[in-house]
């Protein structure tokens, strides 16, 4: 397997620049390593990773509504979080597809870490609402009892 990976990197590096920028015509997905993407971090050659997909956005820099500086800050890196934080429209997401050139190699993808969720099922909770709501209810009932008892005694 080590030899296969070595041969793949030799094959990738021997391709012409145009072949690197255009997805395979036979429908096969091209895979790029994070290091390969990082090499494309200049205004004349700008690649981004968004949701483990690689995009060559060089020709889009001047058209970007937020300015090219925003894209250049992310050039050559994973821009997924920034892309999602801005809240791009459906049109923007569809437009992104025309710049697609391949996928991030499996070994370079961030592993999804499962977030542990703790659910408290115990009736013993130290939450303020467990004692505050009953305390307020008791105070209201006590106030109403005294008010009505005093009203009825004075009549």
pLDDT in tens, 27-43: 788 999 999 999 999 99
Which CATH topology does 27-113 take? Flavocytochrome B2; Chain A, domain 1 (3.10.120)
**Mean pLDDT over residues 127-155, rounded?**
78
| pLDDT digits 0-9 by tens, 77-98 | 999 999 998 888 899 899 999 9
Considering only the C-alpha atoms of the chain, give the largest distance between any 2 of them, rounded to a whole number of Å: 104
DSSP SS3 for 59: helix
Mean pLDDT of the region 5-31 = 51
pTM of the model as a whole: 0.57
Per-residue pLDDT at 8 exceeds 50: no
More confident residue, 61 or 118: 61
List the chain domain ranges.
27-113
Gap between the Cα atoms of 35 and 16, Å rounded: 18
């Amino acid at each position: 397997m080590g030899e296969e990976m070595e041969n793949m990197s030799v094959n990738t590096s021997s391709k012409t620049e145009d072949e690197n920028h255009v997805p395979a015509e036979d429908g096969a997905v091209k895979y790029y390593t994070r290091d390969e993407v990082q090499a494309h971090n200049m205004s004349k050659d700008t690649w981004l990773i968004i949701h483990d997909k690689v995009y060559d956005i060089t020709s889009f820099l001047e058209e970007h509504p937020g300015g090219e500086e925003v894209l250049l800050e992310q050039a050559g890196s994973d821009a997924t979080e920034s892309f999602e934080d801005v809240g791009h429209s459906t049109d923007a997401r569809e437009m992104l597809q025309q710049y697609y050139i391949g996928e991030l190699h499996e070994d370079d993808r961030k592993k999804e870490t499962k977030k542990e969720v703790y659910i408290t099922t115990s009736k013993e909770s130290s939450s303020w609402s467990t004692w505050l709501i009953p305390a307020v209810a008791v105070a209201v009932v006590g106030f109403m009892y005294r008010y009505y008892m005093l009203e009825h005694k004075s009549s």
